[in-house]
Amino acid sequence: MCTSFVLHEDRTYIGMNFDLSERPIKMALSGDNQLLILQKEGGRFLPAIGFNKNGIFMNLHMVNPNEEGKYKRNKNSIHMMRLFDEVLSEKVKTSVLPTYLQEKEIVNVPDYSVQSLIVGPNKKSFLVEPGRKYIDTDQLEDNFMVLTNFSVRDAMEQEDMTLQGLGSDRYQLAYGGLVNRRGDFSVEQGLSILKQTAQREGDFPTQLSMLFSPEEENIYFSLKRDFNRIYRFSFSDLLITTERGFERDLGFLVKKKGVLLSELEGWV
């Protein structure tokens, strides 16, 4: 079901737990500056999370559907998978995203309902949900954002900002962790929040946890809730390496074909 957050301080930190049923998941390059996380469904790999070397991030979280966000075809509507591609490829710069989101009607793809955390350079972030008005960092008092699986826009429009719905417990855990760690944040603290919000039971356990530090050009990650073993992907050399918790140093050069997470699980 997923939990993600972004914190903008002297540095930016972007965290995400990728929660879904057991299935093949892989990391693959798109061009020389994008890393995609893809999950297999219906016999093909579909992108769910994307990072690029310039510090841009976008993901897709499941959320309850609303009528206005349903798929439709017209010259002014843009579906979420097209937005995903245009943001990560920088065909649409995050600097012009507010205008773009006001001019275009963002809709879902058929038979899906998702929302997204989008992070760009210059400490700009957005929550985008088809059928509802987007939220950006300029509208918030905090220097961070959290997203789980309920509509944050709906919650904001209630006088008491009541949190209810799928993932509200994880939202509060992540929110509290970010409030308590502001001014003294690090990769380790980001991983700690992901550990606290990881789902260990149910139909959608956490398969992958990631902490992106754009200034470092590094993504730190763990597999299947094992936070004793941390891997690192670096945009500087396109290598996945062992960061800590392994018996020996290992590495893998990521290419367009990608690597299955199940292959990385075998590292010791």
Pair type for strands 77-79 and 124-128: unpaired
Q: Which residues does 35 contact at the CB level (< 8 Å), separation at least 6?
A: 27, 28, 29, 50, 51, 52, 219, 233, 235, 254
pLDDT (tens digit, 0 to 9) for every residue of the chain, 268 residues total? 899 999 999 999 999 999 999 999 999 999 879 999 999 988 999 999 999 999 999 999 999 888 888 988 888 899 999 999 999 999 999 999 999 999 999 999 998 899 999 999 888 899 999 999 999 887 777 889 999 999 888 887 776 556 677 888 999 999 999 998 878 899 999 999 999 999 998 889 999 999 999 999 999 999 999 999 999 999 999 999 999 999 999 999 999 999 999 999 999 9
* List of domains in the chain: 3-265 (3.60.60.10)
DSSP string, 24-74: -EEEEEETTTEEEEEEEETTEEEEEEEEETTS-EEE-EE----GGGS---S
Task: Please tell me the pTM assigned to this model.
Answer: 0.94
DSSP letters along 129-143, please? -TTS--EEGGG-SSS
What are the residues facing 39 on neighbouring strands?
25, 46
